[in-house]
């Protein structure tokens, strides 16, 4: 027995440990749960701060009014961004865009089929008339069919023009509501110089687009459409140079506005944040110099600036996503209509008269210009928000 006891002592001391139960085998990770709980509380605190300084209800109301839909939630998007999550599912986004595009194709299908039937009838009628060598009757028949097609084309063009104009106005109204809330986060994060500079240039962009794009360029596109249709009435080419001049002026105007606004924004993003950063560095050094409470005050200032930076980035990205959502349906409608009429021109070109094909092609060209104006307006706001969001890093 004594030898057995002497043999068991080393085994008990140096042998493998056997857990008494499952809880001892897998100890409770209290530190991980505390970290997760602290992270959740931090995200909740950040969202509470954002909700306090940002008028979420007004932004959501304007967004719902602009899109006639409640599918995009501005507050939920900010909540997802503050928690580090993607605010949308890529698969569902692609599916939604595809449904919008196909839905617009189905809506425009009827008028395209009507024009196709009319053009085919015109081709058969023209060939039948040419058998009897009656050119005057054929010409009169062409004019009747062409004016009928022009009426249908103008109807579609007016609808597409209204869609583009309403989308631009919706972006302007949304930016007017978003801008004050976003500038509050910029002031808390960087300073007043960056906020004022961003406000002035954004207001300048809104004024230029409302004064030039909507009041000059869109009417010029209407005139461009009329000129293209009138150019196909006669067999001679009378207005091709005029239409080319109008298209060039529209293209240059859009590019000039885009370049001026983004150029000023780039200069502002290079200078204003640096000035605010230098001013904030001086305040931090002054706070540290206060005896007794200097380090505590400096830590509090850094905490406030860091929280404001996170909220500012979340609001900026949410604003970019909201602007994209506003323009998603109008862009899909314009692109689908332009594609359908280009396809119609490709189908009727072998059998129809070239003046009829050119008249239908004028609609796709005009819609392309409207689409260019809409995309340029969206690019101005999106790039401006992206630049100010990326350039201000606190300080």
State pLDDT tens for residues 316-360.
888 888 888 888 888 888 988 888 888 888 888 887 778 888 888
As given in the structure block, the two tokens for residue 213 are 């794009």
Are the beta carbons of 165 and 218 closer than 8 angstroms? yes
Q: Write down the pLDDT at residue 292.
A: 55
The burial of 265, by beta-carbon neighbours within 10 Å (0-12 exposed, 13-18 middle, 19 or more buried), is given as: buried
End-to-end CA distance of the chain: 77
Q: Convert the pLDDT of each residue in 174-213 to its tens digit.
A: 888 888 878 777 777 766 777 777 878 878 877 887 778 8
As given in the structure block, the two tokens for residue 2 are 């004594």
* Pick from 382, 384, 377, 337: nearest CA to 360: 337
The 8-class DSSP code of residue 215 comes to I
Q: Convert the pLDDT of each residue in 12-42 to its tens digit.
A: 334 444 444 444 444 444 344 444 444 455 5
* Pick from 387, 61, 355, 349: nearest CA to 205: 387
* Pick from 230, 241, 218: nearest CA to 371: 218
Are the beta carbons of 114 and 343 closer than 8 angstroms? no
How far is the C-alpha of 339 from the C-alpha of 383, rounded, in Å? 27
Q: Write down the pLDDT at residue 366.
A: 92
Q: Convert the pLDDT of each residue in 32-81 to its tens digit.
A: 444 444 445 555 666 666 666 677 778 888 888 877 767 777 778 777 77
* Pick from 331, 336, 327: nearest CA to 105: 336
pLDDT of residue 94 exceeding 60, the answer is yes
How far is the C-alpha of 170 from the C-alpha of 324, rounded, in Å? 11
Q: Convert the pLDDT of each residue in 221-244 to its tens digit.
A: 999 999 998 888 877 888 888 989
pTM of the full predicted structure?
Answer: 0.78
How far is the C-alpha of 39 from the C-alpha of 30, rounded, in Å? 14
Q: Write down the pLDDT at residue 369.
A: 92
Q: Write down the pLDDT at residue 304.
A: 64
- Which pLDDT band holds residue 110 (cuts at 50, 70, 90)? confident
- Which pLDDT band holds residue 114 (cuts at 50, 70, 90)? confident
As given in the structure block, the two tokens for residue 243 are 């239409």
Dihedral sign for Cα atoms in the order 54, 324, 205, 260: positive
As a whole number, the mean pLDDT across the chain is 74
């Amino acid at each position: 027995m004594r030898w057995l006891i002497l043999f068991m002592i080393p085994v008990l001391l140096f042998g493998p440990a056997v857990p008494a139960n499952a809880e001892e085998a897998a100890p409770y990770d209290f530190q991980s749960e505390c970290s997760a709980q602290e992270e959740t509380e931090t995200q909740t605190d950040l969202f509470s701060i954002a909700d306090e300084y940002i008028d979420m209800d007004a932004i959501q109301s304007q967004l719902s009014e602009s899109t006639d839909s409640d599918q995009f939630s501005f507050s939920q998007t900010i909540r997802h961004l503050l928690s580090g999550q993607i605010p949308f599912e890529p698969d569902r986004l692609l599916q939604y865009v595809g449904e919008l595009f196909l839905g617009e194709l189905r809506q425009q299908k009827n008028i395209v089929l009507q024009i196709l039937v009319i053009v085919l009838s015109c081709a058969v009628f023209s060939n039948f008339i040419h058998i009897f060598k009656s050119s005057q009757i054929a010409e009169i028949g062409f004019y009747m069919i062409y004016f009928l097609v022009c009426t249908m084309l103008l109807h579609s063009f007016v609808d597409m023009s209204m869609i583009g104009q309403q989308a631009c106005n919706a972006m302007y109204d949304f930016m007017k509501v978003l801008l004050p809330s976003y500038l509050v986060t910029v002031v808390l994060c960087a300073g007043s110089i960056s906020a004022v500079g961003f406000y002035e240039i954004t207001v300048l962009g809104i004024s230029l687009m409302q004064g030039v794009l909507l009041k000059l360029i869109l009417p010029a596109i209407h005139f461009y459409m009329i000129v293209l249709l009138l150019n196909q009435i006669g067999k001679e080419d009378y207005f091709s140079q005029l239409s080319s001049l109008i298209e060039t002026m529209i293209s240059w105007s859009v590019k000039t506005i885009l370049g001026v606004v983004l150029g000023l924004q780039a200069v502002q993003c290079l200078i204003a944040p640096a000035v605010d950063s230098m001013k904030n560095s001086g305040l931090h050094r002054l706070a540290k110099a206060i005896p007794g409470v200097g380090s505590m005050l400096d830590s509090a200032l850094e905490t406030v600036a860091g929280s404001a930076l996170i909220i500012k980035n979340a609001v900026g990205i949410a604003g970019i996503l909201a602007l994209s959502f506003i323009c998603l349906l109008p862009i899909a409608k314009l692109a689908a209509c332009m594609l359908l009429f280009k396809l119609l021109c490709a189908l009727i070109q072998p059998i129809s008269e070239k003046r009829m094909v050119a008249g239908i092609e004028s609609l796709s060209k005009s819609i392309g210009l409207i689409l260019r104006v809409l995309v340029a307006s969206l690019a101005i706001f999106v790039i401006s928000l992206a630049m100010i969001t990326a350039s201000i890093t606190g300080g």
